[in-house]
Amino acid sequence: MKIRQLEGKVAIVTGSSRGIGKAIAMELARQGASVVVNGRNQERLSLAEEEIKTIHDRISAVCCDVSTTDGGKLLITEALRRFGKLDILVNNVGISMRGNMADLNPEVFKLIFESNISGTASPTIAAIPGLRATRGSIVFISSVAGIRGLPNLSAYCSSKMALKALAESLRIEEAGNGIHIGLVYVGYTENDPGKETIAADGSKVVLQPRSGSILQTKERVARAVVRNIIRRKYITVLSLPGKLLSLVQPLSPRLVEWLILHHQEQFRRRNN
């Protein structure tokens, strides 16, 4: 009989109606956790809920916008009402963008930070009292784009770098309360059909399907996130390029900059 290491735990995954978030929710369920999934699209969220229920039926869905104060509170309140406690909060919600800084509508920064930062802060603040009671986990899903600034991704990189500051602050503030803080830097990962990003003018555009030898599956990312939670690890860096970047950037940022400058076209093609 396979040991389910999160049996009896209650987990929330924001932005989990599809993509990495849904894969994380499914892996948490496989490990025995009761799971609350979240998204803003009710139809897509209901489909995700039904898919995860093929693992077990201790699944609940809360449709709300966690970038708002009320949405963040609603998500946590509903999870506590349904399951009575909270052990894990995975802050996965977020959106990316494309475009040179000089071409950006300033509203792009507002859109990105509302999703990626407010969408993390609101549920986290609401969840802290419950997580103190269980000495639980808060995990931030970042990106290798949060390790250093990359071309064509200025707003996205800056929002993902900000997650590290949140994690660092929380680790100190909650050290005495036993809350585990995890920060996961996700690498180049497959995307769902129809996944959107924000263009320079602020409109939404559909990303092309990704491919290549360094592409990671959503399931592999999900397993790494759940290992971070089980082992109560702080930083997890995924993919070989991500690990190399995390090692070289602090030692020789000029070398990293030179490499990016000389591979800009390849980088742009991969991220369109």
Q: Which residues are catalytic, by number? A: 156
CA distance 262 to 252: 16
Strand partners, 141: 184
CA distance 19 to 217: 10
Q: DSSP characters for 52-63?
A: HTTT-S-EEEEE
Question: Is residue 104 a contact partner of residue 55, using CB atoms and an 8 Å limit?
Answer: no
- CA neighbor of 90 nearest in space, from 197, 228, 231, 219: 228
> For residues 257-268, b (16+ Cβ closer than 10 Å) or e, as one string?
eeeeeeeeeebe
Contacts of 249 (CB under 8 A, 6+ apart): 147, 148, 256
Beta strands at 196-198 and 204-206: parallel, antiparallel or unpaired:
antiparallel
